[in-house]
Amino acid sequence: MPLISSTEMLQIARKSKYAVGAFNVHTLEMLQAVVEAAAETQSPLIIQTTVGTVKHLGPDYVAAAAKVAANRTGLPIALHLDHCTDFSTIIQCIRAGYTSVMIDASMFAFEENVERTRKVMEVAAAAGVNVEAELGKVGGVEDDIVVDEHEASLADPEECRRFIELTGVNTLAPAIGTAHGIYKGEPNIDFVRIAQIAERVAVPLVLHGGSGIPAEQVRKAVALGMAKMNVATELRIVFSEGIKQVFSAHSGENDPRKYMVPAKEAVKQLAIEKMQLCGCASKAGDMR
């Protein structure tokens, strides 16, 4: 099976009240780990990379590996570019084979965000590629995008409705109180706002900042209309901890095929947990 656009996958998820796990990967082992998790649980899967990882690995390398994953497993798999502010990187990724892109123009005024999203929609729609946009500002750190607590702002439900009307964007990430990175306390999610947005907007909604949200709160957000859950920081941490543990026990280890093994397994187990939590485990068949 080729890589697919995430549009239909996420529409089905929203209608069926589950969310598809979207996992940020930075190495081949991390990519393989989330694919193995999807295969073991028979889940649809979104593999995603930030712009930093696109620069680090090359979009063609990432796309080639994701295509192999889709072919080998026969699972519905989409490849998504996370939080991109720059049009030329979006084009580069679409050319390389990405099937979904995020244009993050949330740092601009509403009209400018509409304009930039429209421009991406024009090229992406012609290529059958899904587009995600952000309204409000999700706080925290994601690669080079840093939004401090005071800058973060929640999405306005009425603006969300107008934004969809004006852009026709396929998926929307409204800021509703989650943040990128590990929370200091508990996240302060505005569930009433999610419900108000979901009432006005039929497209699948995207929950950013998926690391460290208590399970009950994830379930509640998904039940209200969040159909994609992004997880990055927690995966990065378990991967790195896995490698550190090998070296603290065997400081002389110098074979990546050995020291990467526990790290990869840790990513796989965490991805399985998240897939079960957001309800997409055993839903691969929904897309076939």
Residues that bind ligand 13P (CB under 6 A): 24, 82-83, 142, 180-181, 208-211, 230-234
State the nearest-atom distance from the C-beta of 142 to ligand 13P, in Å: 5
State the CB neighbour count (10 A cutoff) for residue 205.
Answer: 27
- Beta bridge partners of residue 147, listed in sequence order: 140
Q: How far apart are CA 173 and CA 99, in angstroms?
A: 17
CB of 180 to ligand 13P, least distance (A): 4
**166 CB-near residues (< 8 Å, 6+ apart):** 114, 118
Q: Least distance in Å: CB of 277 to ligand 13P?
A: 13
156 is catalytic: no
Nearer to ligand 13P, 68 or 182 (CB): 182
Please name the amino acid found at residue 148.
D
Starting at the earlier edge strand, list the strands of the sheet with 179-180.
145-147, 139-142, 179-180
Count of Cβ atoms closer than 10 Å to residue 38 Cβ: 29
- Any bridge partners for residue 48, and if so which? 24, 80
- Residue 273 CA to residue 132 CA, distance in Å, equals 25
Q: Which is nearer to ligand 13P, 6 or 230 (CB)?
A: 230
Name the minimum Å distance from CB 207 to ligand 13P: 8
CB of 103 to ligand 13P, least distance (A): 13
Q: What's the CA gap between 49 and 93, in Å, rounded?
A: 10
> Cα torsion at 159, 160, 162, 168 (round to 10°)?
150
**Cβ(205)–Cβ(10) under 8 Å?**
no
Between 7 and 233, name the residue whose CB sits nearer to ligand 13P: 233
User: Closest CB to ligand 13P among 52 and 286?
Assistant: 52
Specify the residue, 209 or 242, whose C-beta has the smaller distance to ligand 13P.
209
β-strands 145-147, 139-142: how paired? antiparallel
Name the active-site residue from 82, 104, 143, 156.
82
CB closer to ligand 13P out of 174 and 210? 210
Which residues neighbour 38 within 8 Å (Cβ) at sequence distance 6 or greater? 44, 45, 73, 75, 77, 271, 275, 284
Closest contact distance (angstroms) between CB of 85 and ligand 13P is: 13
Task: Name the residues annotated as catalytic.
Answer: 82
